[in-house]
Amino acid sequence: MIPLPTNWSSMKLHRNLVFATVDSLHQIFNEKKQADKVLKNTLKRDKRWGARDRSFIAETTYDIVRWKRLYAEIAEVKEPFDRPNLFRLFTVWAVLKGIKLPDWPQFEGTPARRIKGKFDEFSRTRKIRESVPDWLDELGEKELGKRWEKEIHALNSLADVILRVNTLKTNIKKLQQALSEENIETETLKGHPFALKLKERANVFITKAFKDGWFEVQDASSQKVAQMLDPKPGMRVVDACAGAGGKSLHLAALMENKGQVVALDIYENKLTELKRRARRSGAHNIETRLIESTKVIKKLINKADGVLIDAPCSGLGVLRRNPDTKWKLSPEFLESIQKTQREILESYSRMVKPGGKLLYATCSILPSENENQVAWFLSAEAGKDFTLLKEEKVSPAQSGYDGFYMALLQKKNNE
């Protein structure tokens, strides 16, 4: 997406774009729909919209979702938000960005000075300033102590667009050159051998390089996961919670299309998407299997050289991409997902053969989903044959990328 102008005060608001933004917010806040899906549909509404128009709708909607609590406190509105209240949220956003409000009925009597004064006042309270629910702010501080403040602040920034080069088809240099020819400039990232960062936001999905399967969009932190498992050509590796397969594709590339990647998931539509992506990227060694019963796991017991458990989690580490997550999370959900993580560890770890490796990963920054789960597993009956080789915690505040946790374990070779 093309970035919005940095000189906000010169920006002119267009009625159809503002209304599209307000309609999107209604669906996200009041109908509890997923932000990315809502925007996908909204952006199809008018074929005349150019890249800047779409960028305005998407980035403004995400911005207001990200700062919902702060803007609602300033606007003195409560959920469920009726249409005038949604316009008040938009008004707060516009005033704080320094945008001149047009002479529309929706913006009549806007108290601009009061809005700025309230912003200064609320900025002194972390949970309002960083726009998080009370319970989440308390939990973050309880689990991370002083680190929480920096992490949640970092997670409220806009995520960079990072690409992972598909080494089955090309290399970093050739990909950079191809994108440059389409006016997309990138830079390499130290410590991330397969990553390119866009210097400016752009729609990379319309490029020839994307259509030819030369890259995937994948955050730098997420790229570390497959690398930590370090799969070799000829191995059998199981991606136990494959989803739409970002990490399966990376595993296939690291294995040079030799051996087998068994991609498992409980959702058929995600595995269908994985197959489509695998075709585009030329990954021929991926086999998808839908987990419809325990038989799927039983057939693979003691058969895998490596098992990746990219466990379902709170998603707190990727709030920059999915800001609506913080409004959907609940203490009850966290409790149930931690139970699920333990069940998955117990069951799926059985697929690792003696001497093989198990990688447990989450896109969370909470110890209760990460190192505490690994410690629990190692002390449980199911983990008695495993030892922890290494672990890595990626801090959004320190790295500038998504928050991730990875733990590499090895099963004892009893031979």
The model's confidence at residue 37, banded by pLDDT at 50, 70 and 90, is: very high
The model's confidence at residue 87, banded by pLDDT at 50, 70 and 90, is: very high
Scored b (16 or more CB within 10 A) or e, 284-294 reads ebbebbebeee
State pTM to two decimals: 0.96
Give me the numbers of helices (H) and strands (E) for the chain, helices first please: 19, 11
DSSP 316: G
In the set 204, 363, 406, 409, the catalytic residue is 363
For the chain, the average pLDDT equals 96
Written as six digits, the tokens of 336 are 């149930």
CATH 3.30.70.1170 fits 162-217, yes or no: yes
Scored b (16 or more CB within 10 A) or e, 350-379 reads bbbbeebbbbbbbbbbbebbbbebbeebbe
Question: Given a cut of 90, is residue 9 above it in pLDDT?
Answer: no
How is the chain split into domains, by residue range?
8-131, 162-217, 220-411
pLDDT at 7: 59
CATH number for the domain whose boundaries are 8-131: 1.10.940
Question: Given a cut of 50, is residue 4 above it in pLDDT?
Answer: no
Q: Is 313 a catalytic residue?
A: no
The model's confidence at residue 6, banded by pLDDT at 50, 70 and 90, is: low
- Give residue 209's Cα distance to chain centre: 23
Q: In what order do the strands lie in the sheet with 260-265?
A: 286-290, 260-265, 236-239, 304-310, 352-362, 404-411, 386-394
**Number of neighbouring beta carbons within 10 Å of residue 330:** 12
- Residue at 404: amino acid letter: F
Q: In what order do the strands lie in the sheet with 215-217?
A: 186-189, 192-198, 162-165, 215-217
Question: Given a cut of 70, is residue 123 above it in pLDDT?
Answer: yes
Written as six digits, the tokens of 33 are 């729909």
Q: How far apart are CA 378 and CA 387, in angstroms?
A: 7
Tens-place pLDDT, residues 322-381:
999 999 999 999 999 999 999 999 999 999 999 999 999 999 999 999 999 999 999 999
Cβ atoms of residues 103 and 51 within 8 Å: no
**The CATH homologous superfamily of the domain defined by 220-411:** Vaccinia Virus protein VP39 (3.40.50.150)
Question: DSSP characters for 210-221?
Answer: HHTT-EEE--HH
pLDDT at 2: 33
Cβ atoms of residues 239 and 262 within 8 Å: yes
Cβ atoms of residues 167 and 215 within 8 Å: no
pLDDT at 190: 96
